[in-house]
Amino acid sequence: MIAPAVRVRGLRYTYPDGHRALDGIDLDVAPGERVALLGPNGAGKTTLMLHLNGVLTASAGSVEVGGTPLSRRTLRDIRRRVGLVFQDPDDQLFMPTLAQDVAFGPANFGVAGAELEARVARALEIVSMTELAGRSPAHMSGGQRRRAALATVLACEPEVLVLDEPSANLDPVARRELADTLTGLQATMLIVTHDLPYAAQLCDRAIVMDGGVIVADGPVTEILSDTALLAAHRLELPWGFVVRS
């Protein structure tokens, strides 16, 4: 039997101020699956995301990636296998040139020489930014910076890609370009988003979180067609948008 790409069991997390952000999450994601993680602000979506490669440590419960339990001993390996793309590219772009930013992650995992150069080249090709390798990310557009941040993660060749609000603040063309890039990837994906049409475009499955628990899990078209469910959890499709089955 093939192990799930991600398996979460009984995951709980309480912030230092006493707020319980996760209250017993159980979740399986199959290899190659693309899952949209939906819910209102404060639902626990980003907190869950930060547990998947050990940025946060659970108060209780477990996380496994490809059958490997997340622990202090396996933390480095899990962080190589689960790539997080944050909402703000500034969290991932800090070197003088794009190529240096893309090389930073794999170099920290011990990749060097010709293999490092090849990984940088492949990641830049995937996001269609090869010609910008020598440019400073500070001088790029918002859409370019979002794809650049994605490239820094792809260079590490993760098995699981977790993206936090990937379409936020992008103009329509940049939004489409990023969607085209993501559609072409083979990695397992979890996409945290308030952008319901983007979820429908990129994912086959949707999970709705609220109050630190999963309240719905099913095919994305069924979830987005359930107007009562959406309304109950402060989710809303744009005016005129029709969910296609």
The answer to whether residue 1 is domain-embedded is no
Does residue 155 lie within any of the structural domains?
yes
0.75 exceeded by the pTM? yes
* Number of domains present in the structure of the chain: 1
240, part of any domain: no
Classify residue 242: in a domain, yes or no. Answer: no
Per-residue pLDDT of the chain (245 residues; tens, 9 = 90+): 788 999 999 999 999 998 899 999 999 999 999 999 999 999 999 999 999 999 999 999 999 999 999 999 999 999 999 999 999 998 899 999 999 999 999 999 999 999 999 999 999 999 999 999 999 999 999 899 999 999 999 999 999 999 999 998 889 998 999 999 999 998 899 999 999 999 999 999 999 999 999 999 999 999 999 999 999 999 999 887 888 76
pLDDT of residue 3: 86
* Within a domain: 10: yes
pLDDT of residue 150: 95
* CATH value at residue 214: 3.40.50.300
Query: Does residue 192 lie within any of the structural domains?
Result: yes
Q: Is residue 21 part of a domain?
A: yes
Q: Is residue 12 part of a domain?
A: yes
- For 14, 75, 158, the CA distances from 60, given in Å and listed in that order, are 9, 17, 26
Domain of 150 in residue numbering reads as: 6-232
List, as one string, the DSSP characters of 165-230.
Answer: STTTT--HHHHHHHHHHHHT--SEEEEE-S-HHHHHHH-SEEEEEETTEEEEEEEHHHHHH-HHHH
* Predicted pLDDT at 239: 82
